[in-house]
Chains A and B, each alone.
Chain A
Amino acid sequence: MSAVLTAQGLQKSFGAVRAAADISLTFDPDIVVSLIGANGAGKTTFLNMVTGYLRPDSGQILFGERDIVGLSPRQITKLGISRSFQIPQLFNSLSVRENLLLAESIAATDNPRAATDEALARFELAPYAAQKAGLLPEGIRKLLDVSMALSSRSKLLLLDEPTSGVSADEKFAIMDVVMSAARIAGVTVIFVEHDMDIVARFAGRVVAFYDGSVIADGSPDTVLRAENVRRYVIGEEIPHAAA
């Protein structure tokens, strides 16, 4: 099984802040990976480097076999890496249907209208189809943002905090919809998440970031129990061994 995405020795600094210090990760197809870590740990920087928004100071990013460092977000999107945003990036003056139709048309889907109807149904957005995106509640905005990212040409879907800003009782429902849509579309999902219940439920593998480095990588069970993850990521007070 060849990797979908391979990052080798990624480094990125903003002045004195190290946002990525020698990150090497390999992502296999069809395994849902969650990236966790406190704010500023380097999760979003990693997504931004993969999607071409930031150029790493050094290191290599392979999408399949192809080196994508230096390509623009537009070129990388065309290759099949799509992303959603922590703050949904929508076309506020267009309706939900037009938002999706535009996404599918840009993706050069054979039949954008049919694909739009399908996405509306799959993401349970049909009741909102005629509403302007600017007037939607946050949970629906999140779903629309993901549904636009997941066009026919996506192979890898990166979700930046898909449940942030959404009420606790909506979170699981949103993730259920997103994950089943991704499964049907056959894309590999990597998502950044702060809610450990969501991580435990939906991720097949967890990568924990701290201070620009990966401090744990493995199954949710092992990573979420690891002491440094509990201390640095989850923020538990772990008593020091009694002197």
Chain B
Amino acid sequence: MKAAIVAIASLVALTGLALLSPQWLVFMAMLALAKGVVVLGLLVLMRTGLVSFGQGLYFGIGAYAAALLSHHLHVADAAVMLLTGAAAAGLVAALLGLLLAGYRDIFFAMLSLAFSMILYGVLVKSAALGSTDGFNLHARTFFGVALAPGMERRVFLIAGAVCAVVVALLVHRLLGGHWGRLATGVRDNELRVAYLGASPYRVVYVNYLIAGALAGLGGALAALAVGHVDPEMTYWTTSGEFVFIAILGGIQSILAPFMAATIFEALRTIASQYAPNVWQMSLGLAMLAIIMFLPAGLWTLAERRRRSA
């Protein structure tokens, strides 16, 4: 019930933002939503105690899948692009997950990083996909309805908001029940999970799959926002950014990724405007402060306020 109220309120607020705010803010909000969705997937994975330093792989696959539809198959519908992005990433995650679900800790993190860098290498080398420059995409319709020029991004933001709210509600439901406890069980004690009759491998596999599909959806959203894809999306610094946002927000609430992604994007926009040479340092200092004072993420502040209320 509470979740439904938060969901409706977010939708109304984002729709208002999409229709009324200047283009640059619409753009920033879309990127924040896109990254929020990716980090939501990371949060699902982190429930099993695993951190992937390679979500850029699925972010890139989602973005390129959407862009290829537009560029090579001349499909210009944004809804189809979003679904294809998520599906393509989910498919690859379903395959790689078979291998990765058998690894833990640093081995899992490094192996996921390695796969993302393989894709980066392939993209950089392939001239057909624009090499390091990437290529543009154009979405002109949404569910078959033609978009008025200048309105595209506003519609995409609303579409992104609907996607984000739907997946956030699904994840909220999933983690609030048996599956959430089971994932925490895998994080705490795999031996016990096996001796209760459940398979830790399966739990990790499914959560990896969810994280991959969500990163793909986020990638497609980002591609629509920017109108361009390039190999940078799969580079390890992009993956690192997602982990950064996850730690910034914390993993207690499904709202935390979106809050943290918004703060991250705002911080970046402001910092690159006023301090273009030291914006990365300001991010670093922000991270240092978080780890020292709020090790469970910014969400602790919201929790504290609720407890004192």
Contact = CB atoms under 8 A, between A and B. Distances in A.
Interface of A: 51, 72-74, 77-78, 82-83, 89-94, 98, 101-103, 105-107, 148-149, 151, 153
Given A91-B185, A91-B188, A73 B195 contact: yes
A120 to B, nearest CB: 16
Given A89-B189, A105-B178, A94 B184 contact: yes
A98 B181 contact: yes
B192 A91 contact: yes
Interface in B185-217: 185, 187-189, 191-199
A106 B197 contact: yes
A132 to B, nearest CB: 10
Nearest to B178: A105
B182 interface: yes
A102 B178 CA distance: 7
Contacts of B188: 90-94
B196 A90 contact: no
Contacts of B191: 89
Interface of B: 178, 181-182, 184-185, 187-189, 191-199
Contacts of B193: 106
Given A93-B188, A94-B181, A94-B184, 16 more contacts: A73-B195, A74-B194, A74-B195, A74-B198, A74-B199, A89-B191, A89-B192, A91-B188, A92-B189, A93-B184, A94-B185, A98-B181, A102-B178, A107-B197, A148-B196, A149-B195
Contact of A148 (B192, B194, B198): B192
A57 B196 CA distance: 25
Contacts, number: 61
Most chain-B CB neighbours within 10 Å: which of A77, A101, A102, A149? Answer: A102
A151 B192 contact: no
Contact of A51 (B178, B185, B192, B195): B195
14 contacts: A51-B195, A74-B198, A82-B195, A89-B191, A89-B192, A90-B189, A92-B188, A92-B189, A93-B188, A94-B184, A106-B193, A106-B196, A106-B198, A153-B197
Given A93-B187, A102-B185, A106-B182, A77 B195 contact: yes
Contacts of B182: 102, 105-106
Contacts of A72: 194
A129 to B, nearest CB: 15
Most chain-B CB neighbours within 10 Å: which of A74, A77, A153? Answer: A74
Contacts of A98: 181
Nearest to A92: B188
A45 to B, nearest CB: 17
A151 B184 CA distance: 20
Most chain-B CB neighbours within 10 Å: which of A51, A105, A153? Answer: A105
A82 B195 CA distance: 7
A21 B195 CA distance: 26
Contacts of A73: 194-195
Contacts of B192: 89-91, 148
Nearest to B185: A91
B175 to A, nearest CB: 13
A73 B188 CA distance: 18
A82 B178 CA distance: 21
A74 B178 CA distance: 18
A102 B184 CA distance: 10
A83 B192 CA distance: 10
Nearest to B200: A74
Contacts of B195: 51, 73-74, 77, 82-83, 89, 149
Nearest to B199: A74
A91 B189 contact: yes
Contacts of A91: 181, 184-185, 188-189, 192
